[in-house]
Amino acid sequence: MHLLVDISAHGLGHLSQTAPVIEGIQLRVPKLRMTIRSALPRFRLDRAIATTFEHVPEGRDFGFVMRNAVDIDLTASANAYREIHLNWQERIAVEADWLRRNGIDAVLTNVAYLPLAAAAKAGIPSASLCSINWADLFIHYFAGEPWAQKIYKEILSAYMDACCFLRVSPGLPMTNLVRRREIGAIARVGRRDRPSLSRRLNISEENRWILLAMGGMDFRLPVESWPRVPGFDWLVPDAWQVIREDMRAFDNAGIDFSDVLASVDAVITKPGYGTFVEAACSGVPVLYLQRDDWPETPYLSAWLATNARSRVLTRSGLVKGEFISELSQVWNDVAPATPSATGAYEAIELLEKIIRLR
């Protein structure tokens, strides 16, 4: 059997939700041939997915055109959606032909909708898995546009074509998806190993370690101008090329991100599924950027408030590094019970039956 897994490149949360599920599927169905189609680079996939797969370096969704990790270019996004849906039925036919030519027997997406419509046309079982869907997000931003309703209905219809939509918690309610199935949180919980990380990054094990993880899109913070705090070490992306004795690149030493996250004293991030849930399941406090325009934020924030120590930061406070008091406050909070991540197991159980994996 040949399974196509289509993973959105709109940030890394889609990959973090999907990876544990497809690893579990491969263990359950060892003879399964798996193709992952994603615009994410192969090295990103290899870091996250510990199983054999073929990679098609293409994308079938774009989500939104982003100026950076948090700011949406709504004009460019609107133009892109109008172009994609201009010849929508032709796109479905082309995609259905692609599925047939490549011998695809089942489709799983996170969270592209075109492959779902095409799979239905080709008579191939399909499912989608995510904490969001593009129909809800699209209509949130474009509900007032006269051209938007037709596109919204086409997106929603494509999701309806799937055998099921596995709604990952926490996430959007998605009450409009009648084939929705609820599953728990998905997280790959890392191993806390400060002694090893201390040696590899050449930082003191006794210091406070604060991880800066702004997601899979560019959001460069001016950390060079931040105040120096005695006893603090900052772990920053290698791509930022920071040269400061209290800052270390965390992603250039062959260390798994989940292990880094599980070993730090706090993480600073934007609202996003992967880091929020992994941090909570690792017992790591979270400081996150206020992002009121993103529809998923209220649901993620509410879940985080129950399951982790957390604080919200203003954009100006984050950019200036003016949040040391918030760090002190969150460290003094009583830690809640660590949540369980049951969603991957639940997804595997459902997918085996619903899209007939064998």
Model pLDDT, residue 228: 96
How wide is the angle at C-alpha 85 spanned by C-alphas 84 and 89, nearest 5°? Answer: 110
Model pLDDT, residue 358: 82
Residues 27 and 166 in one domain: yes
Q: Which domain holds residue 303?
A: 194-332
Q: Could you tell me the mean pLDDT of each successive run of 10 residues in the chain, 358 residues long?
A: 97 95 96 97 94 97 94 97 98 98 98 98 98 98 98 98 98 97 97 95 96 85 96 95 95 84 97 96 97 94 98 96 97 97 98 92
Q: Is 200 within 8 Å of 255 (Cβ atoms)?
A: yes
How far apart CA 270 and CA 276 sit, in angstroms, is: 9
Residues 290 and 347 in one domain: no
Q: Is residue 337 part of a domain?
A: no
Q: Which DSSP state fits 349?
A: H
Q: Is residue 27 part of a domain?
A: yes
Residues 55 and 176 in one domain: yes
Residues 92 and 179 in one domain: yes
Model pLDDT, residue 20: 97
Model pLDDT, residue 253: 62
Q: What is the CATH number of the domain that holds 74?
A: 3.40.50.2000
- Please name the residues in contact with 202: beta carbons below 8 A apart, sequence gap of 6 or more: 248
Residues 206 and 155 in one domain: no
Q: Is residue 349 part of a domain?
A: yes
Residues 84 and 227 in one domain: no
Residues 248 and 125 in one domain: no
Residues 141 and 34 in one domain: yes
Q: Is 304 within 8 Å of 352 (Cβ atoms)?
A: no
Q: Is residue 46 part of a domain?
A: yes
* pTM of the complete model: 0.95
Residues 7 and 146 in one domain: yes
Residues 179 and 31 in one domain: yes
Q: Is 350 within 8 Å of 188 (Cβ atoms)?
A: no
Residues 10 and 107 in one domain: yes
Residues 169 and 212 in one domain: no
State how many domains the chain has.
2
